Amino acid sequence: MIKNAVFFDHDGGVDDLLSLLLLLATPETELAGVVVTPADCYPDYAADASRKLMDLMGQTNTAVAVSAVRGVNAFPEVWRAQPYIINALPELLAIEQPTSPLSNQEGVDYVAETLSQTTSPVTYLMTGPCTTLVEALRKKPEIRANIKEIVWMAGAIHVAGNVRTYTHNGSAEWNVYWDAFSAHWLLNQKLPITLVPLDITNHVPVGIPFLKRLAHQSQYDVSRLASVCWAITINSIPGYDYLYHMWDVLATAYAIRRSLFATQTMNVDVSTQLPNEGETIKSTETGGFVTVVAKVSLEAFYNYLLTQLQQNFTGKIK
């Protein structure tokens, strides 16, 4: 089987960890590396959870690194604690010491070194802010030749953003807002970038109808664990603004199953100033030329997820 190599840069949300589970459940995908960007998580918990998921899925050869980058605008603390809750689930708690290695390199160095050593170009999947990748590209510009495509869950182009603070006008999506300066830099590098913005992820809220279908296949270990992880996110329903979506899972599905999606190309610029810091703006002259995921076949996406999650853990639970 020809494997599609994916380097996964995530930021530890429940959604990010479910994305990792989906990648691990995809036999035609090879994980080239995993780095945790310390944005929507406390990174040590997120790295622990990642390593334990890799153990459960029997893929213990890839190291997980923690990046030391810092954002400009911190994520809310209750969101950042979410991987801690995932670590408290019995499947993960039962693993005292994961076999999957924690890299002894700092995350930026790990990205720079891993990408400089790959034998063929990889898909760089990013489900958190882009700061780790940007620092790695600044440190070792030659790694750009080894990136086939950057797939990034980020931005809000024709729809409202999800940042709600006193000084902001609400137009930005959090992954861009965390460090809009790096985002602005990245989009202007002429790299092959595909954005998966809120425009498309707004179509995939975590809802009971999907969870019900998943519940009916909870005889599979992976489906059961995914059900519980999504159930944890349901507590954020009270207002539409904080409704949890399958943001990163949708981006991950795009990275591994293109046929479910349609895209557009356009120039996108990023504001670096208030009141719209981090807003992704469709423009005619400025900004970078990027691909934007514009359409998904929802029924096919849900069916794909349900099929992919019909697996049992292959790793031994110690």
16 binds Ca ion (CB under 5 A): yes
Positions in 260-289 near ligand AGV (CB under 6 A): none
Which residue number has the CB closest to ligand AGV?
Answer: 13
Residue 242's binding partner out of Ca ion, ligand AGV, none, with CB under 5 to 8 Å set by partner kind? ligand AGV
**Which one of 86-94, 144-152, 156-164, 243-251 is the stretch in contact with Ca ion (CB under 5 A)?**
243-251
User: What angle separates helix 221-233 from helix 14-24, to the nearest 10 degrees?
Assistant: 160
Contact with ligand AGV (CB under 6 A) among 242, 265, 307, 314: 242
**CB proximity list for 86: less than 8 A, separation 6 or greater:** 14, 17, 49, 92, 229, 232
174 binds ligand AGV (CB under 6 A): yes
Pairing of strands 261-270, 280-283: antiparallel
Whether residue 317 contacts residue 94, with contact meaning beta carbons closer than 8 Å, is answered with yes
Whether residue 62 contacts residue 20, with contact meaning beta carbons closer than 8 Å, is answered with no
Shortest distance in whole angstroms from residue 53 CB to Ca ion: 15
Contact with ligand AGV (CB under 6 A) among 9, 15, 109, 279: 15
71 binds Ca ion (CB under 5 A): no
Hey, which residues does 212 pair with through a beta bridge?
none
Whether residue 35 contacts residue 291, with contact meaning beta carbons closer than 8 Å, is answered with no
127 binds ligand AGV (CB under 6 A): yes
Contact with ligand AGV (CB under 6 A) among 247, 254, 261, 301: 247
The beta strand positions in 226-314, using DSSP E, are 261-270, 280-283, 288-296
Positions in 97-156 near Ca ion (CB under 5 A): 127-128
Contact with ligand AGV (CB under 6 A) among 25, 36, 38, 40: 40
Helix (H) or strand (E) holding 66: strand 64-66
**CB proximity list for 169: less than 8 A, separation 6 or greater:** 275, 276
162 binds ligand AGV (CB under 6 A): yes
Alpha-carbon span 111 to 118, nearest angstrom: 11
Shortest distance in whole angstroms from residue 247 CB to Ca ion: 7
* Residue 13 vs 287, nearer CB to Ca ion: 13
Hey, which residues does 194 pair with through a beta bridge?
151, 291
Alpha-carbon span 170 to 158, nearest angstrom: 13
183 binds ligand AGV (CB under 6 A): no
Q: Which two tokens stand for residue 255?
A: 């990275």
**CB proximity list for 294: less than 8 A, separation 6 or greater:** 199, 200, 261, 262, 263, 264
* Residue 185 vs 247, nearer CB to ligand AGV: 247
Contact with ligand AGV (CB under 6 A) among 111, 153, 214, 222: 153
Contact with ligand AGV (CB under 6 A) among 7, 8, 9, 16: 16
Residue 250's binding partner out of ligand AGV, Ca ion, none, with CB under 5 to 8 Å set by partner kind? none
The binding site for Ca ion (CB under 5 A) comprises: 11, 13, 16, 127-128, 248
List interacting residues with ligand AGV (CB under 6 A). Answer: 13, 15-16, 40, 79, 127-128, 153, 162, 173-175, 236, 242, 244, 247-248
